[in-house]
Chains A and B, each alone.
Chain A
Amino acid sequence: MIGERVRHARDFCGLTQAALAELADVPQSKISEIEAGRDSNPRAETILRVARATSFPAEFFYRGPLPDLPEGNFRRLKRGKARATRQVRAQARQVVELVQRAESILAMPPVRIEPMRTVPDAEAIEEAAAEFREQAGVGYRDPIPNATRALERAGVVIAGLPGEIPDHFGFSAWPDFGLDGRPVIVYSQEDPGDRQRFTLAHEAAHLILHTPLRDEELDPDQAEREANRFAGAVLLPRAAAIEAMRAPLTLNTLAHVKATFGVSIGACAQRARDLGLISTERLQSLRKQMTSRGWHRHEPVEVPNEEPLLIRKVLDLLGEGGTVQERAGSVGMPLFAYRALVAAN
């Protein structure tokens, strides 16, 4: 159990065994032994060194087994490194542990989203998105003012990652699915607001469309396309999209749609294509125009970043002690991660 937590803390900080060994001034072979369970009762001094190196409180390593975390779904670039992927998972797992502890103490919003049991087609995805909007209480076709809050109201825990993790935008998982578990989404806080909103809707799509499916039933590329379609349909519902994106579609029109719905210009253009409002050639042309204006790197029209509130309230209510350090320690989190969740969220 201690080994699992040492591995977790190392992954959480994005460290290799060698890097942790150096930071903690402990032989790498010892780290390896502990993590593999070959040393299940390491010396307290060793654990203290690991705790200092990772900023976790020492008590964290004696808290028993970590909660199970399913494989989950990532929104990341293909070039994303495996260590960064493990780091995102570890940070999500930390949130899951916190939330599972809170379930018996706090009354959080009940989980209102419901996964689909069938393999979705485009029409089913549109319907699932409309149903999700109803469950989240955001109306049939209006812009969603705060996508984070809409998901939190639907019972999903959302947390920003405490630091930049290259090429990773978000991760979602539904621990203890079918056993009153609560879905969790973590996302990069470094991204602009429109990308964050899309990431959240994309991860919500995985929770709804893909949670009940077994891995062998899931084609990853297909799943990504479905999640993107769902995200577009949630943030820019079909009826509103048809009205707002009448042909001929220009980048300036799309910029106005972005200002109304908080969806990136690129995603609006893709949504127009998904709904058959523009041809594939037109989509390519709009993308070329975006590139020539430099909009593929930095789009105009600001969409402010949203801030998760549910996790902050959980930390506020669970944390004990007067100082930030004490409060972070009482919930078993490294100070930097606690600060990031409380301050940035």
Chain B
Amino acid sequence: MYTSTPRPEGEQLALLLADPIEAVWRGLDRGKAAADEFFETHPHRMYDAHMAAHIIRYEAQLSLKDAAHRAKDWRLERLSNGGIQIRKDGWSMRVFKTVDGTAPPAPGHSRARRNFWMQGFHMPTLFDEKPEGGNLILYWRVGSAGVALGLCKPRGVWRYRGSPKLAWRQPIEIDPLSGLRFSAPDEDIEVIRLDRLALGEEEIGG
């Protein structure tokens, strides 16, 4: 008997959270443009990675806020210290800049973060329709090639430069141009033979 292999949880959640993930991607893409523009027009033109990251975060948050206003099935929560969290169907997804591009940063000493990394305070709320859920991290990096994203589920804490403890990690591929096409419906135009028009005949060639 044929049985289909279930999709790994990472893939399933990347699909479930596709809309907010794309909104984050768009925000970061705009953030990159804002940072580029800042340095391109600055009199010193000296690139500063920390400054760039701040500008990217700032612009991305504005963009994400706009997207969240329009969203129907996910919501954006502002956390202390400028942190952002997205909630959907019992899943909480926090957004962090990655250092090496392949994993989220270590949680550091913050108790709240350590709890989040340890799947500590995932609590379904009144808005969550499904009891399942958990804590996820969407990590990002912006380089000359553009925005790179990954989604992962942490299962513990680790020290700075330590080995990340993750249940899984899922690279996110976003094609922002997928399905884009200009649609040009055709329209008719009238051309009439004068001799036939004079005879009161039906329009031809129209």
The answer to whether B182 and A149 touch across the interface, beta carbons within 8 angstroms, is no
Chain B: interface secondary structure?
mixed
The answer to whether A250 and B205 touch across the interface, beta carbons within 8 angstroms, is no
Top 3 A-B residue pairs of the complex, sorted by shortest distance between their CB atoms: A248-B33, A248-B34, A313-B191
- Chain B residues contacting A248 (CB-CB under 8 Å) are 30-31, 33-34, 36-37, 59
Q: Which of A153, A281, A301 contacts B180 (CB 8 A)?
A: A301
25 contacts between A and B (CB under 8 A): A104-B194, A106-B192, A107-B194, A109-B189, A109-B191, A145-B183, A146-B184, A146-B185, A146-B186, A146-B187, A247-B37, A248-B31, A248-B36, A248-B59, A249-B33, A250-B29, A250-B33, A259-B182, A282-B40, A302-B181, A303-B184, A304-B182, A306-B184, A314-B191, A316-B205
A194: nearest residue on chain B (CB-CB)? B182
A285 vs B39: C-alpha distance in the bound complex, in angstroms?
Answer: 11
A304 vs B26: C-alpha distance in the bound complex, in angstroms?
Answer: 27
- Chain B residues contacting A303 (CB-CB under 8 Å) are 181-182, 184
- Chain B residues contacting A18 (CB-CB under 8 Å) are none
- Chain B residues contacting A250 (CB-CB under 8 Å) are 29-30, 32-33
Q: Tell whether B197 is near chain A: CB-to-CB under 8 Å.
A: yes
Interface residues of B in 41-94 (CB under 8 A from A): 41, 59
Total A-B contacts with CB atoms under 8 angstroms apart: 111
A316 vs B191: C-alpha distance in the bound complex, in angstroms?
Answer: 10
- Which residues does B use to contact A, with CB under 8 Å? 26, 29-34, 36-37, 40-41, 59, 176-177, 180-195, 197, 204-205
The answer to whether B40 and A279 touch across the interface, beta carbons within 8 angstroms, is yes
Query: Most chain-A Cβ atoms within 10 A of its Cβ — which of B29, B32, B33, B187?
Result: B33
Q: How many residues of A contact B (CB 8 A)?
A: 45
- Chain A residues contacting B30 (CB-CB under 8 Å) are 248, 250, 253
- Chain B residues contacting A306 (CB-CB under 8 Å) are 184
- Chain B residues contacting A260 (CB-CB under 8 Å) are 182
Contacts A194-B182, A248-B59, A259-B180 hold; do A310 and B189 have CB atoms under 8 A apart? yes
- Which residues does A use to contact B, with CB under 8 Å? 104-109, 145-146, 149, 152-153, 193-194, 247-250, 252-253, 255-256, 258-262, 278-279, 281-282, 284-285, 300-304, 306-307, 309-310, 313-314, 316-317
A278: nearest residue on chain B (CB-CB)? B37
A292: nearest residue on chain B (CB-CB)? B144
